[in-house]
Chain A
Amino acid sequence: MPPPRLAIANARKQFPGVLALDGVSLELAPGEVLAVVGENGAGKSTLMKIAAGVYRRDEGTMTLDGEPVEFTTPGDAIAAGVSLIHQELNLAENLTVADNLFLGRERTCGGPLRILDKSTAKARAAELLTRVGLPASRATARVETLPPGEKQLVEIARALGLKVRILIMDEPTSSLTQRETETLYGVIDGLKAEGVSVLYISHRLAEVKRVADRVVVLRDGRNAGELAKHEIDHENMVRLMVGRDLKQFYPKDHRKGGGAPIFQVRDLRYRNGPATPASFDVRAGEILGMAGLVGASRTELAEAVFGVRPLASGTLALNGKALHIRRPQDAIDAGVFLVPEDRRLHGLVVPESVGFNLSLPNLDRLGGLFGTRRTAEAALHANWIDKLRVKTPSARQTVGLLSGGNQQKVVYGKWLARGPKLLILDEPTRGVDVGAKAEIYALIDELAGNGVAVWMITSDMEELLGMSDRVLVMHEGRIAGELTKTQLTEEAVMRLATGGST
């Protein structure tokens, strides 16, 4: 029997204040797709980065095809045939696709002058792009002009261009459409057939079920268990990840069914937006799901309503009264709040404390004659940290040090403190671990139960089907159709999202 492609034993990694890995072991066979799952903070990413030479482990051993290896830089790992497709997009967006595909290993002539051989690069790029389902003409496009899904595919194509023995994919589908995801599955199958081993990290358990030959579950920096191919299902994975059963993942305890439409959008168009105007209602106490492929302009529509993008025409009304929104402040004053897609970019001041972030939109109500009222502020912090069960040592903790789920809760806390009427959620649980997801779903359900209108934009099909009372599907900038609770199936959503009809 050949030695395992990769064997990591007793890996430990200490970061200042956090023990990220506490003796994790893992074996990967040639041609195997091994999924590594676990809540955020379980140590998956750290483990992958150690395997890819980004971090160095403090203790433990690592062998590659039986040979002990020691990587000090990503370059070492790449040279040994271990390549990482990172969770955050790691492309130089100012360069072309072809430049990115060969960055760091350009074909050059002229010796130390390293003059680029552009024609060879172009041919090779075309070949790689075809493999991931992209047209060869993309090779000369600047990466910044591509939609997020295609960027992700470019990253995958880049890894394919390396002589890989192990390909590590960290949340590779987070920005892919359904069709692109299928292409990715095809690519993975092809790699398997060539004997390449794949380490696959994902929060999307359905995906794991589809691609993985075996699952390793991590919890709190330790091995929590392993599932063979036939054991892989949703329940088993969640049980191992959180260490307990989740009674109800998608709660509907509080909702009493849709009330009157309280928020009305009529013939809305915004600057540089699609030509087709958008009209729809959100009802009090309902969760309106909004589905669509990447590039369907869902986020842009939400931003227009929230006052980030200037409106070109159309009207907005809340509780029957016309709303004039020219900037986010107008929306906030009216009780319309947006929890943005990228919380680290738009939702939080990452280097500041939990309390700082909670207070930020509420300073007008905390302000006294001589600055902020300390006691009122402390009460606000304590109230929302408690209510949302934010896992933080104190309100003074830097928000960037919390896990993704807890960061997301702080973003909710910012707005809930102001008593929302309409809450716009853009990808409410992206990058959030399973445990925190359940808590966030419970929170959203409770809000809707209290009469808040919730407009939830999501690309996570399970989340869409599980949480929505009603769904709007967008296709290329227009609302392609509406699905009621009874009509709501994955097929129906995909048909509308790809331009079909109901």
Chain B
Amino acid sequence: MTRILGIVGLVSALYAALLLTTPSARDVGNLMDVANLQGQYGIITLGAALVIIVGGIDLSIGSVVGCSAVLFGVTMKSGVHPYAALPLVLAFGATVGLVNGLLITRLKLQAFLVTLCGMFVYRGLARLIGGTVSRTWVTDPRDPTAHPEFDTPIRNLRSGLVGKDFLGELVFPGEFILLIVLALVLGFFLHRTAYGRYWYAIGHNELAAKYAGVNVDRQRVIVYVICSTLASLAGMLLFLNMPSIQADAGGSSWELFAILGAVLGGCSLRGGEGTAIGMVLGAMVMPVVDNFVNLNGMKSDGIPAVIGLTLLLGTIIDELLRRRNAARK
């Protein structure tokens, strides 16, 4: 609970700062844009946080996002209907997670190494299967190899999942709603079922779980599968949301945003800690800071430092709050 307190305070403070100092941020459309960005990062934060709870790490998230986005485009371009391509790409994500999980549990390789290699492999795969993909590239009526008939289903998917109307105007923060739904499902499993107990136990003390008869390896694999599947979902959302995806840039370094969100939200990198609501709140931080610098016309060269310092400050305040609470106990 005390961990949640810190992040609730941080998110409230950031929103307050944004809304008070920047009148133009109060625009509903702008707030929905921010919410959608929060959804975009939040979905992968859920996966990363889950992996962190079982004491692992997944550095391949960003590459899986990029690769899934490219794969989604390439699959549709090759003639697969968008409604069929979506589950196919999710299956691809699940497979990536399965491979990661099996390498880590069966071959006993370090998660850091396996997923770092995955980061290069899936980025490379994205570049091999396609350069730049976009909705237009899939549906362009001027291109004989394209499929203009997919235009409507793709726009339907975009309306439902992202919340943009047929013209591309954001009318409701679909990704944020999707994040809340996914967080509710994940939170249910994490806090109300035996699986959640296993994940916390494994993350804190793997041997304890093992000696209690828990199939530790299987639970680990499940968690990596969930993480990569969420990453591939995020990749498809990116494809639907963005004008175009470059294979070498789409989703790159998102794994760090995801891990950052998870840790800000109360997941300890040592494993065994974290709540679903914390993950959502943790993922909400970055986009608010981002919006602040976008709207205030900050110098480009200063932006990374400003973002980094804000997040560091947040972490420090969070840690101090927790210490004070611990001391009071």
Contacts and interface: CB of A to CB of B under 8 A. Distances in A.
A79 to B, nearest CB: 8
A103 B327 contact: no
Contacts of A94: 200-201, 203-204, 272-273
A54 B213 CA distance: 10
Nearest to B207: A90
B205 A116 contact: no
Given A114-B194, A114-B195, A272-B327, A95 B204 contact: yes
- A: contact size bracket: 20 to 34
A177 B66 CA distance: 58
Given A106-B194, A116-B193, A54 B211 contact: yes
A73 interface: yes
A312 interface: no
A113 interface: yes
B204 A75 contact: no
A244 interface: no
Contacts of A86: 207, 211
Interface string A61-101: 00000000000011100110000101010111111000110
A106 B198 CA distance: 10
A388 B198 CA distance: 45
A474 to B, nearest CB: 23
Given A95-B197, A116-B193, A103 B273 contact: no
Contact of B209 (A88, A104, A106): A104
A157 to B, nearest CB: 13
B213 A73 contact: yes
A108 interface: yes
The residue in B200, B205, B215, B273 that gathers the most chain A C-beta atoms within 10 A of its C-beta is B205
Contacts of A110: 193
B208 interface: yes
B192 interface: yes
Nearest to A92: B201
Contacts of B211: 54, 74, 84, 86, 90
A330 B201 CA distance: 40
Grouping DSSP codes into helix (H, G, I), strand (E, B) and loop, the A interface class, with mixed when no group exceeds half, is: loop
Nearest to B270: A94
A115 B187 CA distance: 12
B186 to A, nearest CB: 13
Contacts of A90: 205, 207-208, 211-212
Interface in B170-217: 192-195, 197-198, 200-201, 203-205, 207-215
Contacts, number: 80
Interface in A305-340: none
B204 A92 contact: yes
A105 interface: yes
B212 A104 contact: yes
Interface residues of B, number: 23
A108 B193 contact: yes
Contacts of B205: 90-93
B201 A95 contact: yes
A94 B190 CA distance: 14
Nearest to B197: A99
B52 to A, nearest CB: 13
Interface in A30-75: 54, 73-75
B326 to A, nearest CB: 10
B193 A115 contact: yes
A491 B205 CA distance: 39
B195 A104 contact: no
B119 to A, nearest CB: 28
Nearest to B202: A92
A99 B193 CA distance: 11
A115 to B, nearest CB: 5
Contacts of B195: 114
Contacts of B210: 73-74
Interface string B298-322: 0000000000000000000000000
A52 to B, nearest CB: 8
Interface in B248-300: 272-273
A262 B4 CA distance: 51
A79 B211 CA distance: 12
Contacts of B207: 86, 88, 90
A103 B208 CA distance: 9
B198 to A, nearest CB: 8
Given A94-B200, A105-B212, 9 more contacts: A73-B213, A74-B210, A78-B213, A93-B204, A95-B201, A103-B208, A104-B198, A106-B197, A116-B193
Interface of B: 192-195, 197-198, 200-201, 203-205, 207-215, 272-273, 327
8 contacts: A74-B213, A92-B200, A92-B204, A94-B201, A95-B201, A99-B197, A100-B201, A115-B193
For the complex of A and B, list the 4 residue pairs with the smallest distance between their C-beta atoms, beginning with the closest: A75-B213, A104-B212, A92-B201, A104-B213
